[in-house]
Structure 1
Amino acid sequence: MSQPKRKEETVGVEMKGEEALAYVLNDIGLTKVFTTYSLPNIVKEMLKKYNIEVDFSISVKDASWLAYAYAMENNSVGTIIQIPGSKLTDAVDVIAQAYMESVPLLIISSVRSHKDTGRARIGEFRTIDDLSNILSPIIKTKERVISIEEITVTIEKAYKEAVSNRPRPSYVEISEDLFRAKAYPLSTAGQKPEKRTPDKNSVAKVAELLTNAKLPVIIAGYGVVLSDAEDMLVELAELIDSPVVTTFKAKGSIPSNHKLFAGEGLGAFSTSAANYLIENADVILALGTRFTQLSTAGWSLKYKGILVHNNVDGEDIGKVFMPHVPIVADTGLFLRELLTQLKAKIKEKINRGASDIIYKTQRQAYPITSHNDIWPIDVVKMLSSIGGFEKVYVDISATTIDLVRLPINAKKTWYTAESLLERGIAVGGIIASKYVAYGITDIEGILPHLSLLKYKMDKIKGKLIILNDGGANYIEVSNSDLPTIARSQTSFNANFDEIAEKALGGVTVNTLTELEEALKSVDKKIINVKIDPNFESVILSRI
């Protein structure tokens, strides 16, 4: 049992390791953690003592998907506790996607002992460093705690790192030796998340460019959403009369029914209006985007104007398109400073006739041929007509990508991923959400999560819509940078209709009339939509 050097530096109470853990989570404002049923009772009891809600799952992968969805919806950190830590290898793909997609996770695990390692304990790798080395490429920071005094300040630091600047997973492992000892944990320092501030001279250049531009266009990326800057985006667009095009992840950052919204996607995946506007713009302001392969249709974006590229992560600027003016800063702070400088220059809102240009250049939203069976775009049109959802979680795939044309008129309503490392957003989202959430996925996005759906069905307030083409199609990116739809040479042998109906209590629909009835039904949470395997997509071409 150790003694503090100066008692005023500690929390003033002697604690065991599990209490220090619960104490600091409460102290930094976290109210919910995601874990598995194998969490030690001593930790459960302490979390309960400090009023922290514990969400239990069968596997750490399930817990990680719920934490992932929770982090996106709340624009905060999703906290995962896994003891022992060795089982985290089951969630490597989820953590990797969170790293790529800027989803903040606070991952807390354990090592069985730091004093005498390598004794082949249950749940122990060969060396004490093996797990952290496995996770190193897909986490922002990693720390190991071997003293009770350091538990509080280390977890506080990891939390701060997870949500600072570009959010990503942070990892802390605690020696289980500390669950059998007592000490005085150090007081937390009240650390606040860091946000990169913009250079005012660079902002002044941007303000000058936008003021003098004949046709400026704004590209809104996910950084707008992460920095809670949606309202400032709309204010900027209205002030300078600039059309706004969003990336696939940033849908909802400007309402789809706003007169300055020109569509989502860039290059070959864009709308006719967005393509025309970007090709003819003299200034393009790209906010909080990495110009991903998916949103840019294999980087097929064509432009001639001056490119201003803002991103909080400087490593992402210049990787795809070299900007004339780079702005490394938090998107929200950049927009705030830009608006301040523009308002000093512009006394009345500029009228460039942007909404008229959008109207004149926007062609049919759904250019498809006639067909008999259900196509993905039919689901989009039906959802647009019926509504009924407050949040939408989409696993993008060959059958679901047309959902990016679903009109989204409220901020922080739409959630998806563009790295496509793993499917699980749809299932995790509808379970973790406190709203009426709709999840849209395909067979690959449902089969690995059957147990999670089964034992968490009572948590679902919305619906899970499965676009079921029998696994006949996939997104092809091996032959070209431009993503396309390719026909698989195999198909699922499992009778998925029976699984959806008997195991999950869902309903299978084969016609639009049946789909409408299922969407309007209050008791059907799982809808298995039979999709024509030969469907045409309004986004992707077939090869």
Structure 2
Amino acid sequence: MYGSSQPAAGHTDSRPTMPLANITIRQKDRNMPEMTGAEALRRSLEAEGVDTVFALPGVQIMAAFDALHDSQAIRLVSTRHEQTTAYMADGYARVARKPGVALVVPGPGALNASAAVGTAYAVSSPVLLISGQIPSGSLGKGEGQLHEVEEQLDVFKPIVKWNTRVSSVSEIPSAIHEAFKQMTTGRPRPVELEIPPDILAATGEVEILEAELYSVKQPADDLVARAAEALAGADNPAIVIGGGTLRAEAGPEIAEMAELLDAPVVGTQQAKGAISASHRQYVGVHYAQVGVSKELLDDSDVILVAGTRFLVPGFKAANGQTIIKIDVDQRELDKDHGTSIAIEADAKAGLAAIIDALRKGGVDNATGPGGERAATYRNKMQAFLNEKAPNQTTWVKAVREATDDNAVLIAGMTNIGYWSHVAYEVQDGGEFITSGYFGNLGFSFPTALGAKVAAGDRPVVALCGDGGFMYSPQELATAKQHGINLVVVVFDNGAFGASRWDQEHRYGDREIGTEFFNPDWDTLAAAFSIRSVGVDSPDGLKEALQEAVSLEEPSLIHVTLPIMAPPFQLA
């Protein structure tokens, strides 16, 4: 489909498992229409099925804004800070199951968005950041142009799968097409595209490319056969799932495999929702120091790992254990975690192939429902939570009881957000969103805004700390302006609570820099015409949240609670 030429500034991961697919402009057709670069951008986004762009205007991208004014297919959601554009694109992508698009100016605008792009990279979320640029004639000259950052492409290389800069109007459709290919094949991760303002304003002959459907990576037959043989002979198998299974929508295959093998299932925080928490084989999440995964895996002879790095705290593969890993990213398979059989494949395709091989080999789960081993570890997990975090998990349960099974929960970097990783049960149809290993304060509220744009009538709840929420309180205006009817829960303990707890337990009575002054939450919400209510108990939170999710308007619930131990700082 593509020829051999590509823009000189293009970047992709230089390692051989992530090759740069060629970008080229097809041979000119005599009937190719002329249009501006901005119109080519808009039409290319429409051709790829984009229906929403999250953006903040600025001089270098105003031509793109003007072109979007003519779109009947794309909704433009303007924000009050560039970080929010990319956070919203990430939240949108995770709920809509398709790429999210953010549009910002270069330099400070792009750098403001970088924390959100880094989050998308950490959680393998397909986000396209269109970052603009300074005029083409000034690139590389260090003239001090407005918003200039020398080698801006290099700034983003560590946190994107691929990026490039276009140098002509005719390159725009191919660059957009390649961006979507990169985001929707292999491991989905963010990409960045730079378009100088003179290219957006210029006119040229353009061919708009149609969107394509790409096949997923299939497993090798010989590796599938080896995996099936090992699993069929297992006495105590176990399954570990990660975010790759959720993105691949492999829930049915996980459930079938677990039932077929009578194998307990544990997951990472990114896998919550891949299989229902009420499934009889589901044990729970391993997170920080919390969970029973190490004990379960130590007690397993064959461990099937799908869509995750497989970093269970304290676990090390022992002699005699067989580790089978399925991952779409060969680099993860190359890491030494004691893997016996490494299968490069889409998680859904890999699991389905092994299930087929098991059934053809005579493995059948018709002898009974099973699940006794999983129940044992699930009960141990619950006993651990009851002993170590009864107060924290009571707050989490209040959130769960107040929301429907199809709710979307965004767990921020706050105590109740941390504990929700292990105590919030996601059922079929529900979703759970975190910032993954990036762990950045301030992500939950703006990410929830984007999630709600994609979620439609489904309830969306953001769990925020008082520290994290104050990264972007101005986005209450975005919620109000665009009718984004989510619920924001702000937990107020007057401090960066986890850091304050750490400080107190490591250094004694030597507080410095962790406590702060908070606004009057009701006054703050009222300034944006946002409904608000304050509570100070789990029952109060449950009641307030039940009411808030039933309303067709954005709401803020502020919760007063003490500083408590986070899961990663248990005594």
- Give 1:403 shift: 0.6
Contact 1:214 1:352 in 2 (8 A): no
In structure 2, the residue corresponding to 1:135 is in which secondary structure? helix
CA distance in 1, matches of 2:520, 2:391: 18
Following the alignment from structure 2 to structure 1, what is the Cα–Cα distance between the partners of residues 344 and 381? Answer: 37
Q: Is the 8 A contact 2:119 2:436 kept in 1?
A: no
Secondary structure in structure 2 of the residue aligned to 1:196: coil
In the alignment, what sits opposite 1:428? 446
1:183-206 Cα shifts (integer Å, max 9, x gaps) = 211342755446332211011100
Label 1:123 to 1:87 Cα distance change in 2 as closer, same or farther (>3 A): farther
Query: Distance in 2 between the 1:197 and 1:449 partners?
Result: 42
The answer on whether the counterparts of 1:285 and 1:308 sit within 8 Å (CA) in structure 2 is yes
Residue of structure 2 equivalent to 1:19: 39
Instruction: After TM superposition, give the deviation of residue 120 of structure 1 in Å.
Output: 3.9
Which residue, 518, 526, 538 being the options, matches 2:544?
518
1:395 corresponds to: 412
Q: Which residue of 1 aligns with 2:431?
A: 413
1:144-293 aligned within 5 A: 144-188=165-209, 190-193=211-214, 195-265=216-286, 268-271=289-292, 274-292=293-311
Q: 1:203 to 1:146 in 2, by over 3 A?
A: same
Distance 2:50 2:112 in 1: 24
Return 517-526 or 282-291, whichever deviates more. Answer: 517-526
Aligned to 2:18: none
| Separation (CA, whole Å) in 1 of partners of 2:246 and 2:66 | 36
Q: 2: distance between equivalents of 1:124 and 1:512?
A: 47
Q: Matches of 2:491 and 2:101 in 1, distance apart?
A: 31
Q: Name the TM-score, length of structure 1 as normaliser.
A: 0.87
Residues of 2 paired with 1:106 and 1:455: CA distance? Answer: 21
Question: How many Å apart are 1:266 and its aligned residue?
Answer: 6.2
Code of the residue aligned with 1:278 in structure 2: it is L
State the shift of 1:505 in Å.
4.4
Task: Find the counterpart in structure 2 of residue 461 from structure 1.
Answer: 485
In the other structure, the counterpart of 1:482 is none
Worse overlay, 348-357 or 311-320: 348-357
**Equivalent-residue separation in structure 2 for 1:25 and 1:11 (angstroms):** 21
Q: Cα distance, 1:516 vs. partner? A: 3.0
Are 1:29 and 2:29 matched, yes or no? no
Counterpart for residue 326 of structure 1 = 342
Moved more, 444-453 or 399-408: 399-408
Measure, in 1, the Cα distance between the counterparts of 2:304 and 2:398: 34
- Against the structure 1 CA distance between its residues 64 and 31, is the aligned structure 2 distance closer, same or farther, given a 3 Å change threshold? same
Q: CA deviation at 1:476?
A: 10
Separation in 2, partners of 1:374, 1:215: 31
2:460 corresponds to which residue? 437
What is the number of residues matched between the two proteins?
Answer: 522
Task: Look up the equivalent residue of 1:288 and give its one-letter code.
Answer: G
- The code of the aligned residue for 2:158 comes to P
1:61 and 1:91 in contact (8 A); partners too: yes
Residue 108 (structure 1) aligns with:
130
Instruction: Quote the offset at 1:67 in angstroms.
Output: 0.6
Contact 2:250 2:348 in 1 (8 A): yes
CA gap 1:460/1:217 in 2 versus in 1, 3 angstroms: same
> Residue 541 of structure 2: SS of its match in structure 1?
helix
Distance in 2 between the 1:475 and 1:216 partners? 39
- Please give the alpha-carbon distance, in whole angstroms, between the structure 1 residues aligned to 2:262 and 2:348: 19
In the alignment, is residue 44 of structure 1 matched against residue 65 of structure 2? yes
Partner of 1:483: none
CA contact (8 A) 1:36 1:59 kept: yes
Which of 516, 530, 535 aligns to 1:493? It is 516
Aligned to 1:313: 329
Mark the CA change 1:518 to 1:49 in structure 2 (over 3 Å): closer, same or farther: same
What letter matches 1:443 in structure 2?
Answer: D
SS of alignment partner, residue 326 of structure 1 = strand
- Where in structure 1 do 4 or more consecutive aligned residues deviate above 6 Å? 368-371, 475-479
Distance in structure 2 (CA, Å) of the matches to 1:284 and 1:16: 55
Match of 1:79 among 96, 101, 108: 101
- 1-side partners of 2:231 and 2:203: how far apart? 61
Stretches of structure 1 lacking an aligned partner (at least 5 in a row): 480-485
Alignment of 1:336-347 (within 5 A): 336-346=352-362
2-side partners of 1:449 and 1:542: how far apart? 30
**Aligned pair 1:301/2:322, yes or no?**
no
Distance 2:353 2:36 in 1: 47
Which of 550, 557, 560 lines up with 1:527 in the alignment?
557
User: Aligned to 1:111, what secondary structure does the other structure show?
Assistant: coil
Letter in 1 for 2:314: S
Name the amino acid aligned to 1:21. L
Tell me the amino acid that sits aligned with residue 459 of structure 1. G
Residues 271-305 of structure 1, C-alpha deviation per residue, up to 9 Å, x if partnerless? 4xx4443221110001100135xxx3xx3125542
2:87 pairs with 1:65: yes
Residue 65 of structure 2 aligns to a residue whose secondary structure is helix
Give the match for residue 376 of structure 1.
Answer: 392
Q: Residue type matched to 1:452 in 2?
A: E
CA contact under 8 A between 1:501 and 1:507: conserved in structure 2? no
Distance 1:289 1:101 in 2: 11
Find 2:498's aligned residue among 467, 470, 474.
Answer: 474
- RMSD between aligned residues: 3.2
Point out the more displaced range, 188-197 or 379-388. Answer: 188-197
Q: Secondary structure at the match of 1:263?
A: strand
The 1:186–1:488 alpha-carbon spacing in structure 2 relative to 1, beyond 3 Å, is farther
Q: Is the 8 A contact 2:326 2:347 kept in 1?
A: yes
CA contact (8 A) 1:37 1:57 kept: no
| Contact 2:317 2:338 (C-alpha < 8 Å) held by counterparts | no
The offset of 1:29, in angstroms, is 1.6
Q: Distance in 2 between matches of 1:379 and 1:67?
A: 29
**In structure 1, what is the Cα distance between the partners aligned to 2:119 and 2:510?**
25
Deviates more, 1:246-255 or 1:117-126: 117-126
Q: Which residue of 1 is the match for residue 3 of structure 2?
A: none
- Give the 3 Å change call, closer, same or farther, for CA 266–353 of structure 1 in structure 2: farther
1:324-383, Cα deviation, whole Å (9 max, x unpaired): 111222212212222222221236326587411223342362656899x99431211212
SS in 1 for 2:77: strand
Q: Using a 3 Å threshold, how does the CA distance of structure 1 residues 235 and 396 change in structure 2: closer, same or farther?
A: farther
C-alpha change, 1:209 and 1:41, in structure 2 (3 Å) is: same
How far 1:241 moved relative to its partner? 2.0
Q: Deviations over 1:377-414 (max 9, x none)?
A: 12112123333461111124444211121111124511
Superposition deviation, residue 461 in structure 1: 2.9
TM-score, reference length from structure 2: 0.83
Tell me the distance in 1 between the aligned counterparts of 2:227 and 2:295.
22
Contact residue 397 and residue 424 of structure 2 kept, 8 A: yes
